[in-house]
Amino acid sequence: MQEVPELKAGAFCWIELGTSDNEAAKNFYSQLFGWEFQDSPMGPDMVYTILKLGGKDVGGLYKLMPDMVAQGIPPHWLSYVLVTGADETVEKAKAAGATILNGPMDVPNTGRMAVIKDPTDAVFAIWEPKEHKGGGVFNLPGALTWNELGTRDTAKAGEFYSNVFGWTKEPLPQSPVEYTIFKNGDRGNGGMYKITPEMGPVPPHWLAYFAVDDCDAKVQKVTELGGSVMKPAEDIPGVGRFAILNDPQGAAFAIIKLENPPE
């Protein structure tokens, strides 16, 4: 297992699924990625599930609260960025044009978090760790390996994330579409592309990518398990083979078989 003992501030550190049916989602992802589960009561009506791969934490899962459903929030994956101070980051994000959707608030004994909508309407979260540092394994099959921002205003979004997290921006060479790599220090941390009219009514979003050892086999498995394909498997020259999928409850995610997985 590839462990990441000390993630740097500004790195994506956690992934979390809010779903309409937590038991069905657990069944789907256990068969797809081999995840195990550890349930923890989080109050009278909520259970928070830690997703595990080979005994290491991969992410979290919970059932959407009735008030979230009433607001029209669909099943979704939420990507968390590691910060040293949640309150300070929230103020910085607000000053840079973001909307704070939730928090900052404490998660008892584990950390402090907030959910933020960037100035181009893509949603992400921040995590100030206490006892829980974030994921314990990345980049191996079944684990988070990449996060990608789809936005209608790449200039505004790029400026926002640079201001808030200090990310630098690099164009992806030889890409068939304009694609920006966000770097956190010297490490690639995520990507960004522009949503074009030809793509249809795609809302601005962050998309989580999970590493796989066989993209086409996993796409077939998703359909067998009741999920659906948003974008069929396709090669990215020099990078790998990827597909964009929906789980049976409708949450979007991506998979990728990387040619050269990061160390």
Residues 150 and 254 in one domain: yes
- Predicted local confidence at residue 1, as pLDDT: 40
Distance CA 121, CA 263 (A): 32
Residue 136 belongs to some domain of the structure: no
Q: What is the pLDDT of residue 263?
A: 63
Residue 3: pLDDT above 70? Answer: no
Task: Let me know whether 189 and 113 are in one domain.
Answer: no
**Same domain flag for 202 and 244:** yes
Residue 158's contacts (CB-CB under 8 Å, 6 or more residues apart) are 169, 180, 192
Split into its structural domains, the chain has a count of 2
User: Could you tell me if residue 3 is inside a domain?
Assistant: no
Share of the chain residues as helix, strand and coil, in percent rounded to the nearest 5? 20, 45, 35
Q: Are 157 and 198 in a shared domain?
A: yes
Domain assignment present for 66: yes
Q: Which helix (H) or strand (E) holds 242?
A: strand 240-246
Length of the chain (residues): 263
Q: Does residue 139 sit within a domain?
A: no
Q: How far is C-alpha 244 from the geometric centre of its chain's CA atoms?
A: 13
Report if residue 1 sits inside a domain. Answer: no
Residue 164 resides in a domain: yes
Distance CA 187, CA 198 (A): 32
* Per-residue pLDDT, 109: 80
Tokens of 211: 């590493």
Residue 121 maps to a domain: yes
Select from 96, 129, 162 the last residue of a domain: 129
Same domain, 16 and 124: yes
- Structural domain span for residue 28: 12-129
Shared-domain flag, residues 153 and 115: no
Q: 176 and 243: one domain?
A: yes
Q: Are residues 68 and 169 in the same domain?
A: no
Q: Looking at the structure, do residues 117 and 191 belong to the same domain, yes or no?
A: no
Domain end, chosen from 77, 98, 129, is at 129
pLDDT in tens, 17-64: 999 999 999 999 999 999 999 998 877 778 899 999 999 999 999 999
Would the pLDDT of 82 be above 50? yes
Tens of pLDDT, residue by residue over 201-246, are 889 999 999 999 999 999 999 999 999 999 999 998 888 999 999 9
201 domain-assigned: yes
pLDDT digit string, tens, across residues 178-199:
899 999 998 888 999 999 888 8
Task: Look up the CATH number of the domain holding residue 245.
Answer: 3.10.180.10
Q: Are residues 98 and 183 in the same domain?
A: no
Strands (E), 64-171: 76-82, 99-107, 111-117, 123-129, 144-151, 168-171
Looking at the structure, tell me whether residues 159 and 202 fall in a common domain.
yes
- 45 and 79 housed in the same domain: yes
| DSSP classification of residue 180 | E
Locate tokens 């992802």: which residue? 29
Q: Give the end of a domain, one of 129, 153, 181.
A: 129
> Directed axis angle between helix 215-224 and helix 22-33, to 10°?
150
